[in-house]
Amino acid sequence: MSNNLAVVILTFNEELNLPKCLESIKGLNANVFVIDSFSTDGTEEIAKAFGATFIANKFETHTKQWKFALTQLPEDVDWVLGLDADQTITQELNLELMELFSSKEEITTSGFYIRRRNYFLEKWIRFGGYQNRFLLKLFKKDDVFLDESELMDHHFYVKGKTARLQSDMIENNLKEDLIFWKSKHVKYAKLQAQEEYEKLLTNPGRLFGNQDQRRLFLKNMWNRMPLFVRPIIYFLSRYIILGGFLDGYTGSKFHYLQAYWYRRTVDQNIFELKANSKKNYREIFFVSRFIIIFLLLYYFNELFIGITGEGGRFYSSFLDQHLNYIRWLRESIIYFSSLVLSIFNYDTIRLPYHLKIIDGVRVGVGYSCLGYGIMSIQIALALSYPFKYLVRRTYLFVGLLIIYILNILRISAVGIAYTEWSNINIDHHFIFNIISYFVIFAMMVIAIRFNEKYENTRT
């Protein structure tokens, strides 16, 4: 292969990842440059053992480090393959690159996108939008540029035409366990929050441009969406619409952490930046966010009921049979209510929409009895108030559990009351709502106090 190709790899303490990365590019016979951020492990020794040129430079941001790296290349380098240390090229990609650069025909494109095969905790993430993630990794040195306004991550942009290669590269970080991943992304979240808060993006992108132009367009749209609402929308779209649930348990963990947890952490950092600079921002934001999240949750449930109800115009048999959480909620309430009634020596028959007490009444458990409206309020409050993570999680799940138990006791009590006193007339919906509201807001007061105490201990 011609020596006008250089491979550039950024490193910092990459003694676990670097050997496999360097081994994968051996067949290219290209000059390799390892740009390091003053590693304290064996990174330098490994790089030199593979014959790579090793250069150390203080790290500020990924973008600045890459700009520095490109200035270190010899003048005769025309093309650059830019890799991270946890990335390797497959044998198929190796052969494709060799064929590309051994051809006597002039390459008229300025850059090539390569499909990334992403791994998380040794699991290949194949769905949720990750099945066709292309990154611009191969480019002409003189045509490439980077945007310094990108503080958290980096992307290569080229002035000329782009194309896609057919083969994959693999991204699999051997250093990464769950603690390492979360710790790294807490740091990333602060940088991304600063970037989004200051709206530094200089390129608005184009919806119908290439992949990076489209990404920039969507990123600018994302920056205009309401905080704390957008992570919910993004996670649901990735996990349900784009099939992230098909990645199994480990994949589900990845989609939750990457699509919701990380982006919610970014939003929390943006919230703190805005709250410290704008008067009454916390109060205004809390109210507006609560209203938006509640309406989204409530009407999403209404929509879901509509598309999982047989006979409806937009009925989905797949959602009804495999993901119908509304039916699961109803059936579990009926099941546990029957267990409560059995404690009081009432025999029951469980039906799809009813709980029948033998020699007694039949209690209907319709959609209005499930409490999803109350639960939507509880979830909206938990997600809207700027709680610390532990306080938020406790308030959210304990509150939902109490509402769920109250509903079971309500259904059981209605069955007993109407069986023993046939002429009784009570508005059990009203009583259940009043008690549930009291629980929600009493817990809210307690959670706020715990949150303040937690913040005081951290300062």
Reported as a single tens digit per residue, the pLDDT across 367-388 is 888 999 999 999 999 988 878 8
- Please name the amino acid found at residue 453: K
Closest C-alpha to 432, from 369, 364, 354, 338: 369
Parse the chain into domains and list their residue ranges. Answer: 5-176, 193-277, 306-458
Cβ within 8 Å of residue 452, ≥6 positions away: none
Q: Give whole-number Cα distances, 220 to 199, 230, 270, in Å.
A: 9, 13, 15
Closest CA to 8 of 49, 61, 67, 58: 67
Q: To 5 degrees, how large is the angle CA 22–CA 7–CA 56?
A: 85
* pLDDT score recorded for residue 211: 65
Cβ atoms of 323 and 240 within 8 Å: the answer is yes
Shortest CA distance to 239 belongs to which of 129, 318, 320?
Answer: 129
Express each pLDDT in 410-434 by its tens digit: 999 999 999 988 778 888 889 999 9
From residue 210, give the alpha-carbon distance in Å to each of 140, 141, 159, 259. 17, 19, 12, 23
Q: Give the separation between CA 221 and CA 392, rounded to whole angstroms.
A: 28
| Distance of alpha carbon 159 from alpha carbon 140, whole angstroms | 10
Strand (E) positions, 300-353? 348-350
Placement of tokens 């006597």 in the chain: 104
Residues of the chain where predicted confidence (pLDDT) is lower than 50: 1-3, 201, 459
> What does CATH list as the number for 5-176?
3.90.550.10
DSSP 256: I
- Provide the token pair at 98: 């060799």
Contacts of 113 (CB under 8 A, 6+ apart): 134, 135, 136, 137, 162, 163, 164, 165, 211
Predicted pLDDT of residue 230 = 87
**How deeply is 344 buried, as exposed, middle or buried, from its count of CB atoms within 10 A (0-12, 13-18, 19+)?**
exposed
CB 171 within 8 A of CB 86: yes
